[in-house]
Chains A and B, each alone.
Chain A
Amino acid sequence: MSSPHVVPLRTYLLVFGALLVLTALTTGVAFINLGPLNTVAAMAIAFTKMLLVLFFFMHLKYSARLMRVVVLAGFFWFALLLALVFADYSTRGFPASSSPAPWSVAAPPTHP
């Protein structure tokens, strides 16, 4: 394996087709009311599209394991950022207008 892997043309075209179909799908789903599932579906489709781009267009499927570990570390770090920021905000009863967490101290009632 002295020269890097050359991906077959067919693979690239199939991935391109799949990405277009998924784009049409996610746009279509936005017009149907699924409640909170709309966001879940949109994010799941975006995540699938990202994996297709990462593994085929960006050659992660054919790359050394080291490369996959680096990418995974990047996304893991981003997940930490999201999780800890949300843990922080959701346990401080902030913003005041939204419903506070059940264990947060209720503001004293104001009497007119």
Chain B
Amino acid sequence: MSDVHAGPAGLAHQFEDLEQQHETDTLGIWVFLVTEIMFFGGLFTAYAIYRWFYLPSFEAGSRILNITLGATNTAVLIGSSLTMALSVRSAQLGKRKALIVFLILTMILGGVFLGIKGVEYHDKFVEHIVPGIDFAPQGEVLQHLAPGGLNHAQMYFFFYFAMTGLHALHMIVGMGLLLVLVLRARRGDFSPHYFAPVEVTGLYWHFVDIVWIFLFPLLYLIGGRY
């Protein structure tokens, strides 16, 4: 922020006032998030097409996933969205300590999510259902997957790893951004007049949460558990 020009603290000189600056900041990140909708949208569309082609295999594949871990992770991620929203609120109110605490809580919950995801990935390796690398399901897993054809089931797990992997990558990027925010908040960079980095990172984090809100039912639930 340049302070060459007179004006409220945190106002960059090209803007009329703080409100216009705030709208510009959020519009920028929203436009980026629209490109992210299309980025994930390509995968969602491909998933929908292949699910339609190979329905029995996709239903079998989704029944093999661990629904307990999936549902837990959904709750964890929603919790991290709450702490993220409270981070932004603390920044708006100029509560520096609370801001740092909520940012760190968000990072911890993000870490728990990735840890649980790691356990699930590990289970897939143990069960030999990693597509392309080691796809040789055995025993009970094979019984579940066999009816629709193993190649079609392998396609399901390609989607599972691609979609959850891309989502996890977004989480890792988000946690890097959160770390920068913690360091900047400690330095006292943010005030009720200037907290755009916190708000913009928050919007990104919530978007990643929305992606998971759709991945959970699409991958874990709609195969049916009855």
**Chain A residues proximal to chain B, CB less than 8 Å:** 1-4, 6-7, 9, 12-13, 15-16, 19-20, 23-24, 26-27, 29-33, 38-39, 42-43, 45-46, 49-50, 53-54, 56-59, 63-64, 66-67, 70-71, 73-75, 77-78, 81-82, 85-86, 89, 95, 97-98
Q: Are the CB atoms of B89 and A16 closer together than 8 Å?
A: no
Taking a contact as CB atoms closer than 8 A, the residue among B27, B41, B199, B226 that contacts A32 in the complex is B226
Q: What's the nearest-Cβ distance from chain A to residue B133, in Å?
A: 26
Given contacts A46-B214, A74-B37, are A6 and B92 in contact (CB under 8 A)? yes
Tell me whether B201 is interfacial, beta carbon within 8 Å. no
Q: Are the CB atoms of A7 and B89 closer together than 8 Å?
A: yes
Q: Are the CB atoms of B86 and A4 closer together than 8 Å?
A: no
Tell me whether B1 is interfacial, beta carbon within 8 Å. no
Residues of B within 8 A of A97 (CB): 53
Question: Besides the contacts A26-B217, A27-B71, what 6 more A-B pairs have beta carbons closer than 8 Å?
Answer: A4-B199, A19-B78, A31-B225, A66-B27, A82-B44, A95-B53
Given contacts A27-B67, A53-B206, A57-B206, are A89 and B49 in contact (CB under 8 A)? yes
Q: Are the CB atoms of A1 and B19 closer together than 8 Å?
A: yes
Q: How far is the CA of A73 from the CA of B53 in the complex (A)?
A: 29
Tell me whether B140 is interfacial, beta carbon within 8 Å. no
Q: How far is the CA of A1 from the CA of B192 in the complex (A)?
A: 13
CB closest chain-B residue, reference A84: B45
Q: Are the CB atoms of B82 and A12 closer together than 8 Å?
A: yes
Q: What's the nearest-Cβ distance from chain A to residue B203, in Å?
A: 6
Q: How far is the CA of A63 from the CA of B206 in the complex (A)?
A: 16
Residues of B within 8 A of A9 (CB): 86, 89
Q: Are the CB atoms of A85 and B49 closer together than 8 Å?
A: yes
Number of interface residues of B (CB under 8 A): 55
Q: How far is the CA of A81 from the CA of B75 in the complex (A)?
A: 30
Taking a contact as CB atoms closer than 8 A, the residue among A53, A70, A77 that contacts B27 in the complex is A70
Q: Which of B22, B75, B78 has the most CB of A within 10 A?
A: B78
Residues of B within 8 A of A32 (CB): 226
CB closest chain-B residue, reference A90: B52
Chain B interface helix/strand/loop/mixed = helix
Q: What's the nearest-Cβ distance from chain A to residue B67, in Å?
A: 7
Given contacts A46-B214, A85-B45, are A33 and B37 in contact (CB under 8 A)? no
Taking a contact as CB atoms closer than 8 A, the residue among A12, A31, A70, A89 that contacts B30 in the complex is A70
Task: Bits for B18-46, please: 1 = Cβ < 8 Å to A, else 0.
Answer: 11001100110011011001100110110
Residues of A within 8 A of B199 (CB): 4
Q: Are the CB atoms of B217 and A46 closer together than 8 Å?
A: yes
Q: Are the CB atoms of B23 and A98 closer together than 8 Å?
A: no
Residues of B within 8 A of A20 (CB): 75, 78
Taking a contact as CB atoms closer than 8 A, the residue among A27, A49, A74 that contacts B213 in the complex is A49
Taking a contact as CB atoms closer than 8 A, the residue among B37, B82, B89 that contacts A78 in the complex is B37
